[in-house]
Amino acid sequence: MTPTNSKPSGETWNAFAPLRDRTFRNIWSASLLSNFGQLVLGVGAAWEMTRLTPSPGMVALVQSALMLPMMLVAVPAGAIADMFDRRRTAMTGLGFASLAAAVLATVAMLGLTTPWILLIFCSLIGAGVALYAPAWQASIIEQVPAEHLPAAVALGAVSYNLARSFGPAIGGAVVLAVGAQGAFAINAVFYLPLLITFFFWKRAQPVNRLPPERLDRAIVSGARYALHSPPIRIVLIRAFLFGICSASTAALTPLIARDLLHGNAATFGLLLGATGIGAVIGALAVSEVRERFSAERAVSLCALVGAPAVVLLGFSTHLIFTAGLLLISGAVSMLLVSLFSIGVQLSAPRWVAARAISLHSSALTGGIALGAWLWGQVTAGWGVDVAMIASGVALLLTSLLGLVLPMPRVSLSGLETVEMGNEPEVALQLTARSGPIVIEIDYSVDPEQARQFYAAMLKLQHARLRNGAYDWSLSRDIANPALWTERYYCATWGDYLRQRERFTHSDRELQAQASAFNTADSASRVRRRLERPFGSVRWRADVPDPQRDTISVYAP
C-alpha cells in the first residue's frame, strides 16, 4: 500500500472541528484532567528522586521508568485493543494506573519511599497508561468522521500539553506545599473522571465472524504488518531515532533547573510549563503545517529549528532565556510527534490500527527511555551542559534521514476493508486450527509483458505478507513461459480466513493491477490445499470414517 499525497482544505482540517462530536469532546475534556494528574506525578516523582539521591543517573531514570512500560506494554496492549472491546480495554488500563498511583501515595505518606520503590511504582502507573493509550487512540476514528482524524490526533496532543502548560508549575507548588505524596494522590484521583467517561460511552462493538486471535499471534500479525508496510516502517524508525535524540529535554530538565539555573521545584515546574505551552502551539499548528509542507519537509524543518534550541540550553544560565528555548523545543517536538502519529494512523487499516499505534508508541517511548539513560550517563561523566549540546547535535543530524528514509505521503483513502468474494469451496472437515494452508494462483501472461507483470506482483507480495501470508513466491513454468504461479501459505485455516477479511481497497487495486495481465479466458485459477493433512485421513483402514460410517458409543 503506497498512500498518495492529499491536500486538506478548509472545514475538513479545521483544528477544532473534532470537538463538535459529543463523544470525542467528552473524552477529550476528561483526558485533560487525566493528563494534568499524570504531569503532576512526573514533577513529584522527579523532584522526590532529587531528594532521595544526588545521583543524576537516578533522576534521569524517573523518565525512563515512566516511558519504558510504554515500550514493553504498548505492543501487547495494542493487540488486546484490536482483539477485544477498546472501551473496556481503556477502562482496565485507567483503573490499574489509578490503583498503582493510590498505593504509591500511601507508601509516600508512610515515609517508606526509596529510589527503587519510586521507580517501580512509576513503571506500574506507566504500564496502566500504556494499556489505555492504544485503545483510546485507535477508537478516535469511531468518535469523529474520517476526515477529522488528523485534527483529532493533534487535539489529543493538545490535551496533554494544555495540562503540561500549567500542571508542572502547579505540581511544583504542590510538592513545596504538601510534599510528593500530595502529587501522587492527585494523580490517582484525576484518572477517575476519564474512567467514568469511558464507562458511559455507548460504543457499538463491531461483530466479527471469526473469534479473536491468540495474543501471541495478534502481536506477530501487527509486527508483520508494520514490517511489510513501507510507510509504517519508515515512521517507526524515524520516531525511534527522534526519541533518542530529544530525550534530553524531558529527562534533564530537573538538572537544568537545579544545576544550571540554581532553582527549586517551582523553577522546574515553570520550565516544564514553558515546554508545555510550546507543545500546545505546535499541536495547534499541525493542520496548517500539513497544508503548507510535505511530511518530509515539515519533519526536516522541525529538526533544523529545534536542534539549535537544544544546543543553546547547554549554555543558558538565565531562567527567561531557558524557558524560551524550551518553548521552541516543545513546539518542535510536538509537531514531530504529531506528524509521526498521523503518518502511522493514516497508513494502517482499522483491523490493525491499535497495533500500529502501539508500535509507534513503543518506538517513540523506547527511544526516549534509551535516550534518557544515554544522556543521563553523559551528564554523570561530563555535565548537563555537555549532554544538552550533544543531544542538539544528534537531533540536527536526523534531518539527513530524509535522504534515505523519506517520510511517506499519506491519505485517508484505501484503508477500508472490502469483501473478497469467491468464497472458497471446502469439502474437507476443517477447523480454525487446521493447517498449514497452501494457496496457489495461476496467471497466464503474455511473455512480452513479463517484466511489467513481475513488477506488479512484487507490489502485491507486500500486501500478501502484511495481511498474514508466509513464504510468498512467484514461479514461471519452464515449458510454458506464459504460465506463472503465485504461492504462499497461512499457518492455519483460521489465519487464512482472517487474511481474506483484511483485504483493503488499496490491496484490491494491487490485485487488479496484477490480474490485468492475466490473458486466460477465465479468472486466475486458485488452489487451496491442506498441507500435511494428518487429521483428514484415517490412520488405519479399519478405523471408522465419521463421514461415512455409523459409530456406536457402545462399541467395545
Per residue in 218-232, pLDDT (tens digit) is 888 888 888 888 889
Average pLDDT over residues 295-319: 89
Euclidean distance between CA atoms 47 and 64, whole angstroms = 15
Q: Give me 251's grid cell.
A: 529527562
The whole-number average pLDDT for the span 330-353 is 85
pLDDT mean over 4-31: 68
Residue 556 has pLDDT above 50, yes or no: no
Can you tell me the distance from the alpha carbon of 440 to that of 314, in angstroms, rounded to the nearest whole number? 61
Quote the strand ranges of 338-447, DSSP E.
Answer: 437-444
Domains, the chain: 17-202+212-403 (1.20.1250.20), 437-536 (3.30.70.100)
Question: Which pLDDT value is given to residue 185?
Answer: 87
Percent of the chain with pLDDT over 90: 18
**Stretch 153-159: mean pLDDT, rounded?**
74
From the CB of residue 157, how many other CB atoms can be counted at a distance below 10 Å?
Answer: 21
Q: What is the pLDDT of residue 521?
A: 67
Could you tell me what percent of the chain has a pLDDT over 70?
A: 86
Q: What is the pLDDT of residues 138-148, one digit of tens each?
A: 888 788 877 77
Task: For residue 533, name the pLDDT band (cuts at 50, 70, 90).
Answer: low
Nearest in space to 439 (alpha carbons), one of 467, 419, 469: 469
CB contact at 8 A, 167 and 174: no
| pLDDT of res. 554 | 39
Segment 230-259, tens digit of pLDDT = 889 999 999 999 999 988 888 888 888 888
Asked whether residue 501 carries a pLDDT value surpassing 60, the answer given is yes
* Confidence at 450, pLDDT banded by 50, 70, 90: very high
| Model pLDDT, residue 9 | 40
pTM score, whole prediction: 0.74
Sheet holding 437-444, edge to edge: 470-476, 483-490, 437-444, 525-530
Ranked by mean pLDDT, which of 377-381, 414-418, 436-440 comes out on top?
436-440
Binned at pLDDT 50, 70 and 90, residue 6 comes out as very low
Average pLDDT score, the chain: 82
pLDDT of residue 167: 64
d(CA 480, CA 344): 43
Q: Helix axis angle, 384-397 relative to 295-313, nearest 10°?
A: 160
163-183 pLDDT, tens per residue? 666 666 677 777 777 777 888
Instruction: Please state the rounded mean pLDDT for residues 32-39.
Output: 82
